[in-house]
Structure 1
Amino acid sequence: MSRLTGRDPSLLRRINSTVVLRALRGSDTSAAHALTLTELVRATELSRPTVEGVVEGLIETGLVAEAPDDPDEAPVPSRRGRPARRFRFRAEAGHLLGVEIGPHRVAAVLSDLTGRIAGTVAREVAETATADVRLERARGTVAELLRRTDVARDTLRAVGVGSPGIVEADGTVRLGTALPGWTGLPLGERLRRSFRCPVLVENDANAGVLAEHWKGAARGVDDVVMVLAGLSPGAGSLIGGRLHRGFGGAAGEIGALHLLGREATPERLLSTTDEPLHPLDEAAVARVFAQARGGDERAGRAMDRFLARLVHDVAALVLALDPELLIVGGWASGLDGVLDPLRAELERYCLRPPRVALSLRGETAVATGALRLALDHVERELFAVEGAEAG
């Protein structure tokens, strides 16, 4: 690769293009707006000829278009001729997709290039479904969403996927005990066959914390832990605003803490009899919690045992990471009174207890976070200058 200098014309063109595109798109994805050439010159501090050339190039790529005259803009009596041309970022130039593949449902959410949601579809799937059946349900859900929104598949620029398990960089699920046939599944490779764009696979709890940081309870907070509280709880963490995956993608797998010499399994913790709870699924757990809220003493003790285990697991993570905010998601986020015991126990165990809040994204968190993955990928493509180095 040749050495680049500040006078390299390809690098300069790329930098100038990025600066103009950022100005048109806006720093906030909801704030894309139309600007005149004069406004672009002022915003970018580039020369007018440079801006004119960049804009024409971006129009050719389809990322920028001339905006119609603003009917609300008051005319200027002294101005002669047509109004100044205005240009806008074409958010509709491509689409992004976020997909959740979970134990009981698959969901898909579609957006334009600013992350503005265009539609969502969710479908149930059996907990016992094979990997092939689950993947086919996910493909069918995506196809239905594209039909409903009248979006062509070839306009997709990136697809993000959230799934339980330890996920490697290439999208392979190294360990996934929550779904049948998931361990060792080349999930990214299997899904890439259905798309002509990058497919990025992430652990579901990691996707969840991205969603809360983007559009949920963690907006404006850069040190966050989100716990997806289920039968085997997992956690996603942001440290300094960056997702912390760990060396092998296994960070936050607090559901495995019971392997460290503890004898009580979730089946026994949640049992209201002398036998382990079977089948151990979310519906069965929901029944136990409903009985507890109804005053059943044995169910109440089972619920207390489960929450105590969850608190201990969460406290270990809080002690290690010292987050500003702890978010509780997953089906446990719907439990009455889950926050008070969490706060009380964290006060006991943690040197500096974090704020505790329920997820604002709820059951949409994983798919929304997967969409954020896709948006991050496209933004790196649109605004990176490294691509010029290959020239």
Structure 2
Amino acid sequence: MRQQSGDASLLRRLNSAAILRILRASEDVTLTELAKAAKVSRPTAEAIVEELLAEGWAEEGDDEQGDRQRGRPARRFRFRATARHVVGVGIGGSTIRAMTADLGGVVVSTRTLAVGSDAGAAERMAAIVEIVEQCAAELGIASRDLAAVGVGTTGVVDNEGRVVKSVRLRDWTGLELQAELGKAIPAPLLVENDMRLAVLAEHWRGVAQGHRDVVYLFTGNRLALGLLIDGVPYRGAHAASGEIGEQPNGNWVAFGPVINYAMAAEPGELRSPSDMAEFAFERARAGEQAAIEAVEQFAVKLGEGLVTVVNPLDPEMVVIGGALARGRELLVDPIQAYLDRVCLYPPQVVASELGRESIVVGAVRLALNHADRVLFTSDL
């Protein structure tokens, strides 16, 4: 919106932000409805709307839905979600995933870029910059014209977007990720821990919609947690929430039953713990009793770990995410049965349907949240 000076300028910006909020929250509204809701005169509402139309932030709605005055339909207006776009980025061990969405959250494109699992920080950041530029180019704009870019990464991420600690990615610990990416990506950029973004995604577009207290368990080649408390991802005192860290008996103690099964079934085959779990899932679905028992024991061990979080936090729901969410009922049913036995108020246990998209979807929501704050409170 155009820059003005003095108190009149401030009042105009506040009124414009109010009009935008109303437009964003409505399918379409008349000038009279806008003026009433924003508590401004109709001429003021009309002048602001005309400015928003000229700048592309608003568009006219369908005439036939309007009130009629002397046989003519009232003009109706709505927020133009395609006025700007955001990009969400998820940083994986061997892939960078990106998703572009308009301001209404409608996803318009997705991209994936391969990166070596042993890539250093410089190479990985260059890939992130490249994929963001590709997303912007696909829209016919430069990356500086994006409303915001959200980035999700493994590791402890502080309030300035610095990776305090990461054990998965080379050269990642101590990296000023937000500041470094900001040098090459001129759009507003935010970096957040991937598990906090995953639970945010489940709350926004996943199985946890409508639930405000949720535990998200990420399962794959690592175990991690995302906590949603009163509708907000929990960061913790040191922004370390979500990182389980090294466990007293080893990080893979829960995988013992499926590891033992896979090694006994095919002793010459080398697999990661996650691959061994999926191998056991496949055999369990085929009806092999030893595999069924191994998977049930694995699920109960995950439940035993979850109960230490579930009992004190009292969540409504536990979401099983990550690669092993594909096990679905093979994991969900035994975990639910275990929590039913040991919890005073057992939460509902469900498998994520977002799959590998959860982190990048959460990054989109992070970017949209930032765009909303800027859009509704300051100049654009």
Q: Provide the TM-score with structure 2 as the length reference.
A: 0.84
1:323 Cα shift? 0.6
Structure 2 unaligned regions, length at least 5: 1-6
Of 9, 34, 38, the residue aligned with 1:40 is: 34
CA shift digits 1:182-215 (9 cap, x unpaired): 2222221232123112211111111111111111
The amino acid that maps onto 2:197 is A
Of 146, 152, 159, the residue aligned with 1:169 is: 159
SS state at 2:111 partner = strand
Please give the alpha-carbon distance, in whole angstroms, between the structure 2 residues aligned to 1:221 and 1:324: 7
Please give the alpha-carbon distance, in whole angstroms, between the structure 1 residues aligned to 2:322 and 2:84: 31
Please give the alpha-carbon distance, in whole angstroms, between the structure 1 residues aligned to 2:136 and 2:90: 16
CA shift digits 1:1-37 (9 cap, x unpaired): xxxxxxx6555434322221111111xxxx543x332
Of 339, 343, 348, the residue aligned with 1:346 is: 339
Of the structure 1 ranges 37-46 and 225-234, higher mean CA displacement relative to structure 2 is found in 37-46
Please give the alpha-carbon distance, in whole angstroms, between the structure 2 residues aligned to 1:263 and 1:116: 38
CA shift digits 1:149-200 (9 cap, x unpaired): 4444232011111111111111111121122332222221232123112211
CA contact (8 A) 2:278 2:324 kept: no
* Residue 52 of structure 2 corresponds to residue 20 of structure 1: no
Please give the alpha-carbon distance, in whole angstroms, between the structure 1 residues aligned to 2:290 and 2:41: 75
SS state at 1:222 partner = coil
CA shift digits 1:314-362 (9 cap, x unpaired): 1111122111111111011101511011111212332211011111222
Q: How does 1:71-82 map to 2 (within 5 A)?
A: 72=64, 78-79=70-71
CA contact (8 A) 1:119 1:149 kept: no
The amino acid that maps onto 1:254 is I
Match of 2:353 in 1: 360
CA shift digits 1:362-386 (9 cap, x unpaired): 221110110000011111112237x
CA contact (8 A) 1:18 1:383 kept: yes
Please give the alpha-carbon distance, in whole angstroms, between the structure 2 residues aligned to 1:130 and 1:106: 14
Of 169, 175, 178, the residue aligned with 1:185 is: 175
Change (3 A) 1:172 1:276: farther
Of the structure 1 ranges 188-197 and 219-228, higher mean CA displacement relative to structure 2 is found in 188-197
1:91 Cα shift? 1.9
Please give the alpha-carbon distance, in whole angstroms, between the structure 1 residues aligned to 2:59 and 2:325: 46
1:235 Cα shift? 1.4
1:304 Cα shift? 4.6
Of 359, 369, 372, the residue aligned with 2:365 is: 372
1:218 Cα shift? 1.3
SS state at 1:197 partner = coil
The amino acid that maps onto 2:127 is R
* Residue 206 of structure 2 corresponds to residue 222 of structure 1: no
1:225 Cα shift? 1.4
SS state at 1:364 partner = helix
Please give the alpha-carbon distance, in whole angstroms, between the structure 2 residues aligned to 1:77 and 1:252: 57
1:280 Cα shift? 3.1
CA shift digits 1:210-232 (9 cap, x unpaired): 11111111111111111111232
SS state at 1:213 partner = helix
Q: How does 1:1-391 map to 2 (within 5 A)?
A: 9=8, 11-26=10-25, 32-33=27-28, 35-59=29-53, 62=55, 64-67=57-60, 70=62, 72=64, 78-79=70-71, 84-254=74-244, 256=246, 258-259=247-248, 265=253, 270-271=259-260, 272-273=262-263, 280=272, 282-283=274-275, 285-294=277-286, 303-336=295-328, 337-384=330-377
CA shift digits 1:228-287 (9 cap, x unpaired): 11232111111111221101111132354x23x569646756244499996636445433
Please give the alpha-carbon distance, in whole angstroms, between the structure 2 residues aligned to 1:208 and 1:187: 19
The amino acid that maps onto 2:309 is L
1:126 Cα shift? 4.0
CA shift digits 1:118-149 (9 cap, x unpaired): 11112344433333333333333333333444
The amino acid that maps onto 1:372 is R
CA contact (8 A) 1:64 1:87 kept: no
Change (3 A) 1:350 1:264: same
Please give the alpha-carbon distance, in whole angstroms, between the structure 1 residues aligned to 2:148 and 2:69: 47
CA shift digits 1:64-123 (9 cap, x unpaired): 34527x36569969437xx64443323222110111111242211111122221111123
Percent identity of equivalent pairs: 38
SS state at 1:353 partner = coil
Please give the alpha-carbon distance, in whole angstroms, between the structure 1 residues aligned to 2:310 and 2:255: 25
The amino acid that maps onto 1:332 is L
Change (3 A) 1:297 1:79: closer
SS state at 1:162 partner = strand
CA contact (8 A) 2:154 2:194 kept: yes
Of the structure 1 ranges 111-120 and 307-316, higher mean CA displacement relative to structure 2 is found in 307-316
Please give the alpha-carbon distance, in whole angstroms, between the structure 2 residues aligned to 1:74 and 1:348: 57
Q: Provide the TM-score with structure 1 as the length reference.
A: 0.82
Work out the number of aligned pairs and report it: 369
Greater fraction of residues in helix: 2
SS state at 2:98 partner = strand
Match of 1:5 in 2: none
